[in-house]
């Protein structure tokens, strides 16, 4: 098994953050990976996605509030879905429907553990069904532990950036969701939890992503107090 301690950490600008995800691709027989970090309020920041499929698997769970990543985060244990379609249909039917049609056939979630707590997850997918070997699972757990601290630092750097630099992927703009949630709180005079639920429900009902709806809220193209179909 390769030594995960050789995984490079981000520099001051987080420029090598992709190496944290690419380590999984180099060491394990998988085709794509995303890495997400959660703060104490369970707000999520995706710091890396290797491709559009990895990003969508992560995005769908964030949008819907269900999926294997949340289970792995709570349990601090890896979750293996060697047949994603069959397993997800039984345990997370809404998530299964949302990712139906993606090329992912197997999904493996490794929690990023610091001490006794999970601070995020690495989500690895494969385009064919099948389990990882015991050695591969042990490697995944070890790599996930080794990148937990640099991943947390990268997420903190993103949280403090006022604006995205040119070329920054949309997956790194999750802070806009939290800003939009704050605006909905003011529009509806409600709690942050309820405001985010309204945001997520509207995105789901209109077949859009939470990011897209958030952009409309921030640009003032969408005011939730004026929505006739708002599920009060």
Mean pLDDT computed over 52-68:
92
Do the domain assignments include residue 166? Answer: no
Whether 38 and 148 map to the same domain: the answer is yes
Is the pLDDT score of 163 beyond 50?
Answer: no
Whether 127 and 206 map to the same domain: the answer is no
Do the domain assignments include residue 168? Answer: no
Q: Which residues of 166-202 are buried (b: 16+ CB within 10 A; e: fewer)?
A: eeeebbbbbbbbbebbebbbebbeeeeeebbbbbbeb
Is the pLDDT score of 139 beyond 80?
Answer: yes
Whether 184 and 143 map to the same domain: the answer is no
Q: For the chain, what is the mean pLDDT?
A: 83
When pLDDT is cut at 50, 70 and 90, the band that residue 146 belongs to is: very high
Mean pLDDT computed over 117-123:
91
Domain that holds residue 206: 174-226
Of 103, 127, 160, the residue at which a domain comes to its end is 160
Looking at residue 81, which CATH number applies to its domain? 3.30.450.40
Mean pLDDT computed over 163-189:
71
Of 129, 160, 191, the residue at which a domain comes to its end is 160
Looking at residue 208, which CATH number applies to its domain? 1.10.10
Whether 142 and 216 map to the same domain: the answer is no
- Treating both helix axes as pointing N-terminal to C-terminal, what angle do 192-205 and 210-218 enclose, rounded to 10 degrees? 110
Mean pLDDT computed over 130-147:
96
Render pLDDT for 63-119 as a digit per residue (tens, 0 to 9): 888 999 999 999 999 999 999 999 999 999 999 999 999 999 999 999 999 887 888
Contact 214, 199 (CB under 8 A): yes
Do the domain assignments include residue 186? Answer: yes
Instruction: Kindly calculate the radius of gyration of the chain based on its CA atoms and give it in whole angstroms.
Output: 18
Give SS3 for 51: coil
């Amino acid at each position: 098994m390769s030594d995960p301690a050789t995984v490079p950490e981000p520099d001051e600008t987080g420029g090598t953050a992709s190496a944290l995800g690419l380590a999984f691709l180099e060491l394990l027989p998988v085709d794509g990976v995303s890495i997400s970090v959660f703060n104490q309020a369970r707000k999520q920041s995706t710091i890396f996605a290797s491709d559009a499929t990895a990003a969508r698997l992560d995005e769908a769970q964030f949008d819907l509030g269900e999926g294997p990543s949340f289970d792995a985060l709570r349990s601090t244990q890896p979750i293996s879905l060697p047949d994603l379609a069959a397993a997800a249909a039984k345990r997370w039917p809404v998530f299964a429907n949302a990712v139906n049609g993606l090329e992912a056939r197997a999904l493996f979630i490794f929690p990023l553990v610091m001490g006794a707590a999970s601070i995020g997850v690495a989500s690895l997918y494969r385009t064919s069904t099948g389990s990882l070997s015991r050695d591969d699972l042990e490697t995944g757990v070890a790599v996930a532990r080794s990148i937990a601290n640099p991943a947390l630092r990268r997420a903190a750097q993103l949280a403090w950036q006022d604006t995205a630099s040119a070329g920054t992927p949309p997956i790194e703009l999750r802070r806009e969701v939290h800003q939009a949630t704050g605006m909905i709180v003011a529009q509806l005079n409600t709690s942050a939890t309820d405001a985010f639920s309204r945001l997520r429900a509207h995105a789901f009902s209109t077949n859009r992503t939470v990011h897209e709806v958030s952009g409309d809220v921030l640009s003032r193209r969408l005011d939730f107090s004026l929505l006739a179909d708002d599920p009060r």
